[in-house]
Chain A
C-alpha cells in the first residue's frame, strides 16, 4: 500500500505532464487574427513579395554576381573537421556546378524581396558525402531560416534516421524544409518524411501553378520542365528536373509566409493544400 500511496498524484502540487493542455490554458493558446477564415489563393498570395522571409539554398553554392540572383544575406561552405565536427566557413568559392545559382534565381524571380542565404554542401572532389549534407542541414536549421530549399537527397540508409530527426527538429522550430522527390525508383531521403514538403514536377508553364498529390509520398508538384534559370558565367539555361520544381514550391512558401508569418509548417502545408491549383486555387 505504501508503494501505491507514494504514487498518488496531487493535482494542486504537481504540474501536468509536459504535453497536456489544462482547462485554464485553453485561452492562453488562442490564436490571434482571423484564423481560420476562408483560405483562397488571393488570401495566401496576393501582394506577397517574400519580404521578411529568409530562404536557404542548400546546394552547390550560389553565384551572387549573377544579375538574376543578386545579393545574398550569407554564403557558407560546409566541411567536416578533424574531430568530425561540422565546420561552416564563409564561402569564397561561389557555385561549383551552377545548380545552386539556378535555384536561387528561381526564388529571386518569384519572391523578389525574400532574403536568400547559401549553404554549400557540394564541392570539388565530392561524390556525395552524406556527413557534409547532414552538417549543412543542421547548420541551416540552427540559423533559423524560414524555408530551406533542398533539391538533393541521399540514398545512404545510415543517414536516414539522422535526417529524420533533423527534419522533425526543423518542423518544430518553424523551419519549413522543402525537399526534391526522387524521380527514379530508389529509396532516398529526406523527401519521403512527412515533416517535409516533398516536390515533384509538373509540365505547366505558370510558375505559380502547383498541384497537391492525393497519392503521396510526393505531396506537391511544382513547375519543373523547361524552366529558364541563371547559370554560371552570367548565362541563362533552360533546364528540367524535380530539383528545379523544388525552388518553385520554396518560393510559394516564402510568399505565403511573408503575408502570413504566423503560420506553422503544419498550417503552411494546409494552406498549400487548400490553394493548390487542383484543389481551391484553380481558376
Chain B
C-alpha cells in the first residue's frame, strides 16, 4: 500500500479528523444504549491485541471521567469471557463475582450490581465488548432486551472497525516520514470549507494534481 502514492494520498485525506469522528460515534452509541435501557452507565471496551488487554474506548454515565483509557487483562472478568466466547451474557448482582474487575470500579466509587455484555463481532474476529451497567432493579431481564443489546453491539462493532482502520491509516502515514501529513492537512482544510470556497479549493487541488502529472 505504501508503494501506491494515489492510495496514500487518499488515505491521508480520509484520516483527517477520523479518529475524533469515530470516537464521537462510539460515545453516541453508548449514550443511546444507556438511555434506552435506563442504565446507570455504558461502555465500549476495545481489545488491544498486542498487549492482550481490554481498553475503555467510550464511557458514559458512572465512571466517564476516570475510566476512559483504563486497561485490564483481556482474560479476566465477565467481559473477558464474553470476548473469548463471542457470546452475550447478562448477570445480576455482579458484586458477587470476585472476578469482576471491581478494582477499576471501586476506584471510581462505583460498583455495578448488574451487567449486560455483548461481543463486538466483525467478520471472524471479536474487536471488543459493549457493556451496559445497572438496568433498573425492579425490571426482570427479557429476551427483547438481549436482542436490543445485540443490535447496539453490531452498530458499535462497525464503528470500532472504522476506528481501527483509521488508526492503521494513521500508522501508515506516520511510517511514510510525515510528508503526507501536508496532503492530509490540505485535504482536510478544503473539505471543511463551504459552498463556493470548497468548490474553488477542490479546483485548485485538481489543477495542482494535473500540473504535477498525478
Shortest C-beta distance, A156 to chain B (Å), equals 5
A74: chain B residues at CB < 8 Å are: none
Q: Which residue of A lies closest to B86 (CB)?
A: A155
B93: chain A residues at CB < 8 Å are: 237-238
Q: Does A127 contact B (CB under 8 A)?
A: yes
Q: Is the CB of B98 within 8 A of A184?
A: no
Main secondary structure of the interface of B (DSSP, over half): mixed
Q: Which residues 143-161 in A have Cβ within 8 Å of B in the complex?
A: 151-157
B97: chain A residues at CB < 8 Å are: 98, 231-233, 235, 237
Q: Is the CB of B91 within 8 A of A237?
A: yes
Known: A232-B97, A233-B96. A154 touches B88 (CB 8 A): no
Q: Contact check: which of B49, B86, B98, B119 meets A154 at CB < 8 Å?
A: B86
Q: Does B81 contact A (CB under 8 A)?
A: yes
Q: Contact check: which of A127, A151, A233 meets B87 at CB < 8 Å?
A: A151
B contacts with A, residue count (CB < 8 A): 42
Q: Is the CB of A243 within 8 A of B143?
A: no
Q: Is the CB of A126 within 8 A of B84?
A: yes
A123: chain B residues at CB < 8 Å are: 75
Q: Is the CB of B126 within 8 A of A240?
A: no
Main secondary structure of the interface of A (DSSP, over half): loop
Shortest C-beta distance, A79 to chain B (Å), equals 14
Q: Is the CB of A97 within 8 A of B80?
A: yes
Residues of A within 8 A of B (CB): 60, 96-99, 122-128, 151-157, 180, 182-186, 188, 201-203, 225-226, 231-233, 235-243
**A-B contact list, 14 entries, CB within 8 Å:** A60-B81, A97-B77, A98-B78, A98-B97, A122-B85, A124-B76, A127-B83, A128-B84, A155-B86, A156-B124, A157-B124, A233-B98, A237-B93, A239-B90
